């Protein structure tokens, strides 16, 4: 099969913000290498933007700019479309139109894939075109391709990711400086590590979309953002971080996807929440705005993939990697592997997920309190790993770390502790992850 | 394109040691998943072994075992061949015969790929079949596919790997226990982390093969094991490790592949040697027999891939990932991307490689010595980053760390220091890597 051809592949770019500009720059700077690696040059034939008059990082000939994205993807002579607009609409309609019109699509759109990937994959299947999205999870880190392909002969048991740079930056600063959440968020916003409206990041929506994508690929089943249990970091206090530190742990916002036994065969769970992990865990050393994904599988064992999780150039690197694959396939008139959802696993609700809890209670400092607390755990069939008393008198605090139990049982335990008259306050509740007990 | 077919794909296995046995086990245990992921079942039709009478971990029907490997690969009805014999011959002849007879090949054979990959790739190209080898470098860690595909749109500048588990285990123990090399080697042999004849590991031959493979993929050029500069760890002393510790560093056996400017365009260098790296570097935290590969590229930035670098099951995971890709391609009657050597870079000799040196000198404790040492560096155009004096009188030692310079200049500096009458001994010379200065 001879890949070489004289005629260039024709590429349309949808969106030209920080990622799109870097895609344009790399296409130009690496043109000779890309041509050699693909077997044909890639020509940019159009860039759809909302405001053509804006100054951009990349030099784009004015005649390529258009506000008519729908017209660009449906003109019929486009081989490849890169979508970096984000959001649900018009991105979805544009991707569907691109596929219908015979283009392969590379997208960084985590929200769309996690909400309605099924529609996109079905359209790609019908059109016999590729739909690639490495850039949608963990930026530059190659994680989707390893899950889809390198681990295709293995059974993945758990994927634990630090997949949101903003929250990792904030939690890392809270840990190193001892500062409170609000103060560090403000600093992150000044430094450009957090958006003016940081909700999608700090409340875990961004990570939940990524968890849905990771779970779908790892377990060959369909998981959407709505299936993912989600808690953000806005309630994480300096006291939580200090308490984690005393346990030799650190607080991270984790996206955790697990393969479990359900009542009718294999089931999966997917969740995003802050958790304490031991400082010896490989994920604990992921600092600042870096991302990492830790994969546990039957045969390979424990793997970790680490790198920058966001930013224009890193995300563009992932986009271009996908673009090279899609372009090679166009030249050979073939298609890579499509969606793999044969396993059709049940998605377990959070209550049935197993985890461990760290609970800090402000209590009366008197005999019988510890016994009563221990009884509350026992009544919910939760066994205790450690109890530590801190302070005395009015400042007495009990810190309990449980063994593994269902989230429902742990949560019910905390609810019952709240009703006890000698418990003045449940000052910290946080899940504990990352060790085998 | 419909992947499903009733007829199974036919697989021949060459070699059935620890990796081969795990391949057989996983093929059986994951049969349903593999069938769903590939689109057809994979049937094992023959296993070539030298001694069929041996007890093996995997249950293999006696009628599948054969000592006639050449007959197995040439019988003409085999779709896929997995080669886990290792070594140059008969592995090379068997792989060539398998490709000629229409099979795609998955191999874990680093020595063969690094010595004569060109012959194998040419045969795969001619036969229009896949030749995959993820398991040849860093065991279970997906690193070759990310380099070949995920980073195909980026420019990789440097790959730094801990790719030999035996030497990492030994250096880690020397660091944590303060023990000497010989003592730890013996312990490693007792624990099964080092072979009875550990030469291939401790003298860096194994790592050099992997460096050649990594450099070829990262830089799209041909690099063989003979192109790789190689020093092992048998000369690393407890004093070197202690000296590294005082600098906040740790000693690792690194495989380093770099893209450089040569006299006629881009050039590459590839080398394996012990080096001091700062404890803050992500590779410094790679403990015991784990492997990791650190990749620096223009757009993606700094990535790291971490996991088990050897062992039957981890290596089998990598083999099966390749097998799924090759099997999908057989069903679709297509081929994945072949060898990419378009760049045809010059390979620089070690003397032209740039690095930094840590040099410890036993010297006379008198005025003028430091000035004379500094002059020796300056005469070779090597600038000094730090000088530290340790001890006094007969125990006086100067520890010099240079700035970046060519290895030839650094080596010549050390040679001239050895001739100076106030230098009693050059007690430690080691390269320093892993920071940008």
**Residue B5 pLDDT:** 58
* Minimum mean pLDDT range among A23-32, A112-121, A361-370, B388-397: B388-397
Chain centre distance of CA B290? 12
User: In CATH, what class is A351-432?
Assistant: alpha beta
Q: Where along chain A do its domains lie?
A: 9-139+313-332, 144-308, 351-432
Q: Say whether domain A144-308 belongs to CATH 3.30.360.10.
A: yes
Under 8 Å CB-to-CB from A165, ≥6 apart: which residues? A139, A193, A288, A289, A290, A291, A308, A309, A310
Under 8 Å CB-to-CB from B341, ≥6 apart: which residues? B216, B220, B221, B222
- How far does the CA of residue B43 sit from the closest CA of chain A (Å)? 14
pLDDT band at A393 (very low <50, low <70, confident <90, very high): confident
The answer to whether the Cβ–Cβ distance between B305 and A301 falls below 8 Å is no
Can you name the residues that pair with B360 across neighbouring β-strands? B399, B428
Rounded CA-CA distance A19/A310 in Å is 9
**Residue A1 pLDDT:** 40
The CATH homologous superfamily to which domain B352-432 belongs is: ACT domain (3.30.70.260)
- Taking contacts as CB-CB distances below 8 angstroms, the residues of chain A near B318 are 150, 300
**Residue B6 pLDDT:** 67
Cβ contact B428:B245 at 8 Å = no
A272-330 pLDDT, tens digit per residue, is 999 999 999 999 999 999 999 999 999 999 999 999 999 999 999 999 999 999 999 99
Under 8 Å CB-to-CB from A186, ≥6 apart: which residues? none
**Residue B437 pLDDT:** 45
What is the DSSP code (8-state) at residue A385? E
Question: Tokens representing B109?
Answer: 């054979």
B147: nearest Cα among B36, B88, B223, B229: B223
Question: Tokens representing B273?
Answer: 């040697």
B310: nearest Cα among A300, A281, A154: A300
* pLDDT at residue A3 is higher than 60: no
φ, ψ dihedrals at A387, nearest 5°: -130, 135
Rounded CA-CA distance B388/B358 in Å is 11
The answer to whether the Cβ–Cβ distance between A142 and B128 falls below 8 Å is no
pLDDT band at A127 (very low <50, low <70, confident <90, very high): very high
The answer to whether the Cβ–Cβ distance between A145 and B140 falls below 8 Å is no
Q: Where are the strands (E) in A322-394, listed by range?
A: 346-347, 354-363, 384-390
Rounded CA-CA distance A115/A216 in Å is 12
- Taking contacts as CB-CB distances below 8 angstroms, the residues of chain B near A142 are 142, 145-146, 149-151, 303
Helices (H), B101-149: 110-127, 144-145
What average pLDDT does range A176-181 have in this prediction?
Answer: 93
Residue of A nearest to B332 (CA): A334
A104-107 vs A80-83, strand pairing mode? parallel
Cβ contact B377:B320 at 8 Å = no
Instruction: Note down pLDDT in tens along chain B; length 437 residues.
Output: 444 556 899 999 999 999 999 999 999 999 999 999 999 999 999 999 999 888 877 789 999 999 999 999 999 999 999 999 999 999 999 999 999 999 999 999 999 999 999 999 999 999 999 999 999 999 999 999 999 999 999 999 999 999 999 999 999 999 999 999 999 999 999 998 999 999 999 999 999 999 999 999 999 999 999 999 999 999 999 999 999 999 999 999 999 999 999 888 999 999 999 999 999 999 999 999 999 999 999 999 999 999 999 999 999 999 999 999 999 999 999 999 899 999 999 999 999 999 999 999 999 988 889 999 999 999 999 999 999 988 888 888 999 999 999 999 999 999 999 999 999 999 999 999 997 54
* Residue B408 CB-half CA count within 13 A: 6
Q: What is the largest CA-CA distance in chain B?
A: 85
A233: nearest Cα among A175, A273, A205: A273
Under 8 Å CB-to-CB from B191, ≥6 apart: which residues? none
Peptide bond into A207 cis (omega under 30): no
Rounded CA-CA distance B418/B396 in Å is 16
DSSP three-state, residue A235: coil
Is A252 noted as a catalytic residue in this protein? no
DSSP three-state, residue A37: helix
**Residue B253 pLDDT:** 98
* pLDDT at residue A436 is higher than 60: no
Rounded CA-CA distance B18/B108 in Å is 12
Cβ contact A69:A46 at 8 Å = no
B350: nearest Cα among B242, B431, B288: B431
DSSP three-state, residue A261: strand
Rounded CA-CA distance A334/B329 in Å is 10
* Residue B291 CB-half CA count within 13 A: 26
* pLDDT at residue A225 is higher than 60: yes
What percentage of chain A's residues is helix, strand, coil (to nearest 5)?
40, 25, 35
Of the candidates A110, A173, A210, A252, the residue annotated as catalytic is: A210
Cβ contact A259:A266 at 8 Å = yes
Using a pLDDT cut of 70, give the percent of chain A over it.
98
The answer to whether the Cβ–Cβ distance between B317 and A306 falls below 8 Å is no
CATH number for the domain running over A9-139+313-332 = 3.40.50.720
The answer to whether the Cβ–Cβ distance between A314 and B304 falls below 8 Å is no
């Amino acid at each position: 099969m001879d890949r070489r051809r004289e005629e260039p592949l024709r590429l349309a770019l949808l969106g030209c913000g920080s990622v799109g500009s870097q895609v344009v720059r790399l296409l130009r700077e690496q043109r000779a290498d890309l041509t050699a690696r693909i077997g044909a040059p890639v020509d940019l034939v159009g860039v759809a933007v909302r405001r053509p008059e804006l100054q951009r990082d990349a030099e784009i000939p004015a005649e390529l700019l258009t506000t008519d994205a729908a017209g660009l993807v449906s003109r019929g002579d486009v081989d490849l479309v890169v979508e970096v607009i984000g959001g649900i609409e018009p991105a979805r309609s544009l991707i569907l139109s691109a596929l219908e019109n015979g283009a392969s699509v590379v997208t960084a759109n985590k929200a769309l894939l996690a909400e309605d990937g099924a529609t996109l994959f079905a359209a790609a299947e019908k059109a016999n075109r590729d739909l690639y999205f490495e850039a949608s999870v963990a930026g530059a880190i190659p994680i989707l391709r390893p899950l889809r392909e390198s681990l295709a002969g293995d059974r993945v048991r758990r994927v634990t990711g630090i997949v949101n740079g903003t929250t990792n930056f904030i939690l890392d600063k809270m840990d190193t400086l001892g500062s409170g959440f609000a103060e560090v968020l403000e600093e992150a916003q000044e430094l450009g590590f957090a958006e003016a409206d940081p909700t999608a990041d700090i409340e875990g929506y961004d990570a939940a979309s990524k968890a849905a994508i990771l779970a779908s690929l790892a377990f060959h089943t369909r998981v959407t953002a709505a299936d993912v249990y989600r808690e953000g970091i806005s309630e994480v206090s300096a006291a939580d971080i200090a308490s984690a530190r005393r346990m030799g742990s650190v607080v991270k916002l984790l996206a955790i996807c697990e393969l479990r036994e359900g009542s009718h065969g294999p089931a999966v769970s997917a969740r995003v929440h802050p958790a304490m992990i031991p400082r010896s865990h490989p994920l604990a050393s992921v600092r600042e705005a870096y991302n990492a994904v830790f994969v546990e599988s039957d045969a390979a064992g424990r793997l970790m993939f680490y790198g920058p999780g966001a930013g224009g150039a890193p995300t563009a690197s992932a986009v271009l990697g996908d673009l090279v694959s899609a372009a090679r396939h166009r030249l050979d008139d073939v298609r890579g592997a499509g969606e793999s959802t044969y396993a059709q696993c049940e998605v377990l609700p959070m209550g049935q997920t197993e985890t461990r809890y760290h609970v800090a209670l402000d209590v009366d400092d008197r005999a019988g309190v510890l016994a009563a607390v221990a009884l509350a755990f026992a009544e919910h069939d939760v066994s205790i790993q450690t109890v530590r008393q801190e302070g005395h008198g009015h400042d007495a605090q009990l810190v309990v770390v449980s063994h593994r139990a269902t989230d429902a049982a742990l949560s019910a335990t905390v609810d019952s502790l709240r009703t006890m008259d000698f418990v003045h306050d449940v000052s910290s509740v946080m899940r504990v992850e990352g060790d085998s007990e």
